[in-house]
Chains A and B, each alone.
Chain A
Amino acid sequence: MEEKKLIKGGSFLIDELQPEDIYTPEDFNEEHLMIAKTTWDFVAGEVLPKVEEMEHKNFDVAVKLLKEAGELGLLGADIPEEYGGVGLDKISSSLITENIAKAGSFALSHGAHVGIGTLPIVYFGNEDQKKKYLPLLATGEKIAAYALTEPVSGSDALGAKTTAVLSEDGQYYLLNGAKQFITNAGFADVFVVYAKVDGEKFTAFIVEREYPGVSVGPEEKKMGIRGSSTRPLILEDAKVPVDNVLGEIGKGHVIAFNILNIGRYKLGIGTVGSSKRIIELATKYAKERKQFKLPIASFPLIQEKIADMAVSTFVNESMIYRTGGLIEDSLSVIEGNKENQGREIAKGIAEYAIEASINKVYGSESLDFVVDEGVQIHGGYGFIEEYEVERLYRDSRINRIFEGTNEINRLLIPGTLLKKALKGEIALLAAADRLQKELMSLMPLMPEDTPLSQEKGMLDMAKKLTLMIAGLAVQKYQQKLEQEQEILRNVSDMIIELYAMESAILRTLKTLNKLGVDKAEHKLDMTQIYVQEAFDRVSLIGKNTLAAMEEGDVLRTQLSIHKKLSRYTPINTNALKRKVAARVIEAEKYL
C-alpha cells in the first residue's frame, strides 16, 4: 500500500491542501455502500415502524431492536473480530451512525451503546476486560451506557463528586455518588463510570447493573429524544471489583476526553443523517402541498429554503467525512502492539480534537437550521405531532448541548490550537510572522477562469484574516486571553468556517477531477453559494473582533487591511439557489 503522510490536526489553518488530500463521500467503496444500505434498510423496515412505541417509553422494543441490530453486525463495527465484533474501518462505522440517525431516538440508544458505552472498553480495556465484555456487547446480549455527568458537574467534568474507596480486603472499590442524564440507564447492563479514587484520582470503572449498591432513578421527562431512556445512575457503596478499573488509576481523564472527541465526531455524523431525512420529508411535502393552486415547491422562497438546507447539509457532510478520513488514516497505522494500543489510539484521536469539536458545533447548528426550515416548509402541519418533522425538531435541540456544549467546544478550538502551536506541532507562529510581511503588500483577488478559482482565493483571504486576528488577540491578551471568551468564540467561528469552506471546495474539485464538470455541477453550485455566504460571515466577525480589540489609528490601519482582505466580486446566489433547489425537488431527496 502507498505510504500516506498523516495530516496534522488543525494544520488546515495554515496549509494549502489539494483535493486528493482529503477523504470524501465519493471515495466510499462497494462495501461501504452496502453497509449503508443494510443499515438504512434495517432502519426503514424495522425501526421506523416502531418509533411511536419507543416514544411512549416502551423500551423493550428498543432492546429487542438493538439485539436485532447486533445480529446484523450493526453493534460490532468498532469491535475487533477477535472479540466478536466485525472490526471495520471508521468510515464504515460512520455510515452506520449516519443511517441509524434517521431512526430518531433509537439512534441515541444505539450510539450510547456502540460509542461512548463500548468504545472505552475497546480502546482502554485490558485483555481480560475485552474478552469478558466485548463479545456480549457486540451481539447486544448486554447493553452499555456511559456515566460521566453529575448533577453539579456538566461541562466541568473533572469536578465530579463521585468517590471510590478501596475496600479493606483490597478486592473492591466502593463507589458513592450520583450520575445524571445517563442514556440507556433504563435497560443498560454495563456502565462506564467515572469516580475519584480517594477523592482525587479521577478514574474510570466498568460497573455492572447487578453489582450491589447500583440502582437507577426515574425516567427524565425530556423535550425531545423521548424514545431513548435517560435516568440517573445511583451508586451507594456500589461494590466494584478491582479488576474493573478501566485504564490506569488517576488517568480517567485520558479516557473521558478521548471518548468525548469520538462522541463529538459521531454526533456530527448523526446530524448529517438526520438532515438528509428532513430534506426528504420537506421536499416531498412541498411538492404535495398546494396553495394558490400550485405546489408550494414552485415558490422561490420555498425553493430557497430547500437550497439552503441542501447546501448546509452538503458542507456538513463534506466536513465530517474529511475528519473521518483523517481519523481512519491515523488509526489504521496503529495495529498489533497491544501494550500501548489504547494510548496510541487515544493519541491518534486526540490529534483531531479540533476537527471533532468543529464537526460537533457545525453539525448541531446545521441540523437545527435544517430542521427549523423543515418545520417552516410544513407550515402549521409542522407544528402537529402527526408529522415526523415535529419530532425531529424537538430531537435536534439536544445536539447543541451534550458532548460538550457548543460554547465549551468553541472555547476548546482556539485553545487547543494555541497549545499545539506552542508545542511546535503546527507552525502557527511562523505562519503568523510570515503573514505580517504579506499583509503589507497585499494584492487583490485575480480569479483565473477555472472552476472555483475565486472561491479558492476567498478561502485564502479568509485564512489570512483569521490568522491575523488570532495573532493580534494572542499578542494583546497573552496569558489573559482565556478570559476573553467573546474573542475566542469569534476566532473559533472563523476557524469553523474555514474548515467548512475548504471541505466543500476540495470535495467539489475532487469530484470534478474524477467525474468531470457535468457530474460536479450540483456541487459546484452549492460550493459557490456557501463560500460567498461564509466569507461574508467571516469578514463581519473579523471586523467586529478588530473593533473589540483596538481603537483609534491602530484600529483604522487594521480595518484597511481587513477591507483589502474582504474584497471580491459577488455572484448571483439567488439564481444558483433556484438551480440547486430544482435538482433536489426533482429527486425528492438530498443529493
Chain B
Amino acid sequence: MNILVLMKQTFDTEEKITLTDGKVNEDGIEFIINPYDEYAVEEAIKIKENDGGEVTIVSLGPSRTESAIRTAMAMGADKAILVENEDIPLDEFSAANILSSVIKEQEYDLILCGHMAVDDGSSQVPQRIGELLGIPYIGTAVKVEASGTQVVVERDVEGDTEIVEAVLPVIIAAQQGLNEPRYPSLPGIMKAKKKPLERLEIEDLNLSDDEVQPRTEEISIYLPPKKEAGRILKGELADQSKELIELLRNEAKVI
C-alpha cells in the first residue's frame, strides 16, 4: 500500500512564544514534527510494516523542515517531497492547493495527516485536500485498519466513537490516542540521511497566482493578555451575589 503522509514542522510544545516586531520569534527555537502529524507518520509506518508498500512524506514549509522530515525517515518513512517556502504568505486555502497539486502527481492508496497543526490550529487543510482530490475525508481517527481496498476507521466524536468504513483512497486525519509514536532508533537515524528527499518550489507546480494567493489576511499577531490577579468579594452572601452579577454583566461582559 502506498501511503502519503502530510506533515508540518511546528514549534516544540515546550517552547515559549515571544514576539519581536509583531512576529513570532523563531530564534533559538526547537522545531519538531507537529504532534498530530507524528501519529500519522507512526500509523503509516505500522501499516507498511504489516502490508508492505511505501511511505512518502509530503511537506510544505521552510528548508528547516528537513530536520522533521529526517526524523520521520529515521522512524521508518521511505522518501519525502518538500515544497520549500521561506516567506511567501500562505493560508489554508493556498496550502491545500499546493499540497493537492503535489499529491496529484503521486500514486497513492491512502493519505494520512494530523487532525490539526499545533501552531495555527486551523484544522482545515485535510478537508480541503479531500475536496480538491475528490476523495473521502475521515477526521479525528483513533483507530485505523486498512487492508486491500478497504479501510475501517474509529473516530473520536466528542467523546463517543463512530465507526466508518470506506473504500480507498481516502484521506484520514489522526487524533491523539491513535497510537504511541516510536522513538527514531539510532540505525534509523543513520539510514535517514541517505533516503531520497525531493525539493520543489511553489513555482515548479502548475498553479495559477489565484490558487496561491491567500484568501485571508493576517491583520496582527499578539500574545494573550496577561491574566489579572483574582478578586475575592467580601461582605454578606446576598451582597456578594449581587456584586458578582453586576461585575459579570458590566465588567467581564459575559452575561
Question: A and B bound?
Answer: yes
Interface residues, chain A, with chain B CB atoms under 8 Å away: 30-31, 33-35, 37-38, 41-42, 45, 71-74, 76-77, 86, 88, 92, 587-588, 591
Contact A74 B186 (CB under 8 A): yes
B64-95 interface with A by 8 A CB criterion: 67, 70-71, 74
Chain B residues lying within 8 Å of A34, measured Cβ to Cβ, are 67, 70-71, 74, 184, 189, 192
The answer to whether B233 has its CB under 8 Å from any CB of chain A is: no
A77 and B28 contacting across the interface, CB-CB below 8 Å = no
Looking at chain B's contact residues, the main secondary structure is helix
| Residue among B70, B190, B192 having the largest count of chain A Cβ atoms under 10 Å | B190
Partner of B190, one of A45, A71, A88: A88
Specify which of B16, B28, B67, B186 is in contact with A35 (CB 8 Å cutoff).
Answer: B186
By the criterion CB–CB under 8 Å, are B189 and A38 in contact?
yes
Interface centre among B28, B184, B192, by most chain A C-beta atoms within 10 angstroms, is: B184
- Secondary structure of the A side of the interface? helix
Contact assessment for B186 and A73 in the assembled complex, using a CB-CB cutoff below 8 Å:
yes
Q: A76 and B186: CB pair below 8 A? A: yes
A30 contact set on B, CB distance < 8 A: 67, 70, 193
The closest CB in chain A to the CB of B18 belongs to A586
A88 to B190, CA, bound (A): 9
Known A30-B193, A31-B189, A38-B183; further 7 A-B contacts with Cβ < 8 A: A33-B67, A34-B184, A38-B74, A45-B183, A71-B185, A88-B186, A88-B190
Q: How far is the CA of A34 from the CA of B189 in the complex (A)?
A: 7
26 contacts between A and B (CB under 8 A): A30-B67, A30-B70, A31-B193, A33-B67, A34-B71, A34-B74, A34-B184, A35-B189, A37-B71, A38-B74, A38-B183, A38-B185, A45-B183, A71-B185, A72-B183, A72-B186, A73-B185, A73-B186, A73-B187, A73-B188, A74-B186, A86-B187, A86-B190, A88-B190, A92-B186, A591-B28
- Give the distance in Å from the alpha carbon of A74 to the alpha carbon of B184 in the complex: 11
Chain A residues within 8 Å of B188, by CB? 73
Cα distance, A34 to B188, chains bound together (Å)? 10
Complex contacts, A38 vs chain B, CB 8 Å: 74, 183-186, 189
With A and B bound together, what is the CA distance between A189 and B12 in angstroms?
40
Compute how far the CA of A314 lies from the CA of B187 in the bound complex, rounded to whole angstroms.
30
Q: How many angstroms between the C-alpha atoms of A588 and B186 in the bound complex?
A: 29
Complex: chain B residue closest to A73, CB-CB? B186
**Closest chain B residue to A31, Cβ basis:** B189
List the B residue with the shortest CB-CB distance to A72. B185
User: Number of A-B pairs whose CB atoms are under 8 Å?
Assistant: 46
Residues of B172-190 whose CB lies within 8 A of A: 183-190
Binary interface profile of B, 201-213, with partner A (CB < 8 Å = 1, else 0)? Answer: 0000000000000
Q: How far is the CA of A92 from the CA of B184 in the complex (A)?
A: 15
Bound CA–CA A33/B64 (angstroms): 14
What is the bound-complex CA distance between A30 and B188, given in angstroms? 13
| Chain A neighbourhood of B71, CB < 8 A | 34, 37
User: In the complex, which residues of chain A have a beta carbon less than 8 angstroms from the beta carbon of B67?
Assistant: 30, 33-34
Interface residues of B (CB under 8 A from A): 16, 28, 67, 70-71, 74, 183-190, 192-193
A residues near B184, Cβ cutoff 8 Å: 34, 38
Closest Cβ neighbor of A81 among chain B residues: B187
Measured between beta carbons, the chain B residues less than 8 angstroms from A71 are 185
CA distance in complex: A403, B202 (Å) = 57
Instruction: Give chain A residues whose Cβ lies under 8 Å from the Cβ of B186.
Output: 35, 38, 72-74, 76-77, 86, 88, 92
Which of chain A's residues have a CB closer than 8 A to the CB of B190?
31, 86, 88
Chain A's nearest CB lies how many Å from the CB of B190? 7
With both chains docked as a complex, state the minimum distance between the C-beta of B50 and any C-beta of chain A, in angstroms: 19
Which among A33, A42, A591 is the interface contact of B183 at CB below 8 angstroms? A42
**Given the complex of chains A and B, what is the CA–CA distance between A86 and B188 in angstroms?**
10
Report the minimal beta-carbon distance from B189 to chain A, rounded to whole angstroms: 5
Docked Cα-Cα span, A15 to B106, in Å, equals 59
B70: chain A residues within 8 A (beta carbon) = 30, 34
Complex interface: chain A residues within 8 A of B192 (CB): 34
Cα separation A391 to B107 with both chains bound (whole Å): 55
Q: Which partner residue on chain A sits nearest B67 by CB separation? A: A30
Question: Min CB distance, A521 to chain B, in Å?
Answer: 12
Please name all residues of chain B whose beta carbon is closer than 8 Å to the beta carbon of A74 when the two chains form the complex.
Answer: 186
Q: How far is the CA of A498 from the CA of B117 in the complex (A)?
A: 49
A11, B150: Cα distance in complex, Å? 69
Complex CA gap A31/B16 in Å reads 25
In the assembled complex, the Cα of A71 lies from the Cα of B70 at a distance in Å of 19
Judge whether B183 and A41 touch: CB under 8 Å. Answer: yes
A35 surroundings in chain B (CB, below 8 A) = 186, 189
Min Cβ gap B75→A in Å is: 10
**Residues of chain B within 8 A of A42, CB atoms compared:** 183
Closest Cβ–Cβ distance, residue B250 to chain A (whole Å): 30
- B-chain residues with CB within 8 Å of residue A77 when the two chains form the complex: 186
